[in-house]
């Protein structure tokens, strides 16, 4: 018997809030089910991330999940959250963070040992420079390398040695072709760096799209170099209230990266009405996304 030694749960998290757009993505997911019927499929809306109790919602100006108004749809609350962020880069960053946290939660609920990401060499190179530019360079060992993440679930990147253009070529050559299962994105060569709607993610995608075409070795070298980074070690760390990544003593918040590594930026304890009130820690990248 040809039995696999693993079981795949294919998870789709819908970022669309419009019902028409969600209908289109549901149709695409059905095509996946027809093509690969042996696997288990699950679909979630990104608004379900708003129910996660592991996130410090007060930092985002939102109430705790247990205090949510049941009359207000989750999609509306998500739209309100995203709309309140100061820039296009901030919105993309928070959406990506919520997606990862929800994906980890789904994996844990299903007893999964690891999450397999479809990131190619090109995508990992984009992520390397994007996260560094956002102030999360310390997170790269978990974002581009195989291994156990800080969330207690393995993060693995089985396509890490393949360029995006190689995967696109393979998808058209295999029989039957996989082209109809791929969501094609338009060329990023027309992105303007001066546009308010342009994100850091867009600029990095544009850069590596060009680099992959003409200098593929540069793309591979970025990933190989970032994969050599070692994760943060030590007991003096606290999980960021939004992304969940470890924050070393004195490096959280805006001031922790202003040249002074001091513990003042660490969560303070304020006495309020006789009670101790602890302010949650946010990493530099998350605080920048929230406050601009």
pLDDT on residue 112: 95
Going from N- to C-terminal start, the domains of the chain cover 1-114, 117-146+154-231, 232-292
pLDDT on residue 195: 72
Count of CB atoms situated within 10 Å of the CB of 67: 8
More confident residue, 210 or 271: 210
Q: What is the distance between the alpha carbons of residues 96 and 130, in angstroms, rounded to a whole number?
A: 12
pLDDT digits (tens, 9 = 90+) for 15-44: 887 877 888 889 999 999 999 999 999 999
Q: Per-residue pLDDT for 272 more than 60?
A: no
pLDDT digits (tens, 9 = 90+) for 276-289: 344 568 888 998 89
pLDDT on residue 1: 47
Token code pair at residue 263: 């513990």
pLDDT digits (tens, 9 = 90+) for 46-91: 999 999 988 988 877 776 766 666 667 888 889 888 988 999 999 9
Tokens 């308010």 sit at which residue? 196
Tokens 């544009």 sit at which residue? 206
Q: What is the DSSP string of 47-114?
A: GGGGG-TTS-GGGGT---GGG--TTS-HHHHHHHHHHTSSSHHHHHHHHHHHHHHHHHHHHHHTT-SE
Token code pair at residue 133: 């530019």
Q: What is the distance between the alpha carbons of residues 155 and 115, in angstroms, rounded to a whole number?
A: 5
């Amino acid at each position: 018997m040809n039995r696999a030694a693993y079981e795949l749960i294919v998870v789709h998290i819908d970022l669309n809030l419009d019902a028409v757009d969600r209908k289109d993505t549901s149709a695409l997911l059905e095509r996946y089910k027809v093509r690969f019927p042996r696997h288990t499929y699950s679909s979630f809306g990104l608004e379900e991330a708003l129910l996660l109790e592991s996130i410090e919602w007060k930092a985002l100006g939102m109430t705790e999940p247990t205090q949510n108004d049941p009359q207000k749809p989750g999609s509306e609350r998500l739209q309100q959250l995203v709309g309140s962020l100061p820039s296009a880069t901030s919105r993309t960053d928070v959406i990506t963070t919520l997606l990862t946290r929800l994906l980890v939660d789904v994996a844990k609920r299903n007893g999964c040992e690891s999450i397999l990401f479809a990131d190619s060499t090109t995508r990992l190179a984009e992520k390397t420079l994007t996260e560094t530019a956002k102030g999360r360079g310390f997170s790269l060992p978990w974002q581009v390398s195989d291994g156990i993440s800080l969330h207690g679930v393995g993060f693995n990147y089985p396509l890490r040695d393949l360029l995006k253009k190689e995967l696109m070529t393979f998808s058209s050559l295999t029989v039957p072709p996989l082209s109809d299962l791929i969501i094609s994105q338009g060329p990023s060569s027309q992105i303007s760096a001066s546009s308010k709607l342009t994100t850091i993610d867009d600029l990095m995608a544009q850069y590596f799209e060009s680099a992959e075409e003409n200098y593929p070795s540069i793309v591979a070298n970025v990933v190989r170099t970032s994969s050599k980074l070692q994760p943060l070690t030590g007991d003096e760390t606290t999980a960021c209230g939004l992304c969940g990544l470890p924050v070393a003593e004195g490096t959280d918040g805006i001031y922790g990266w202003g040249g002074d590594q001091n513990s003042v930026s660490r969560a303070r304890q304020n006495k309020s009405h006789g009670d101790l009130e602890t302010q949650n820690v946010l990493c530099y990248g998350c605080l920048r996304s929230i406050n601009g």
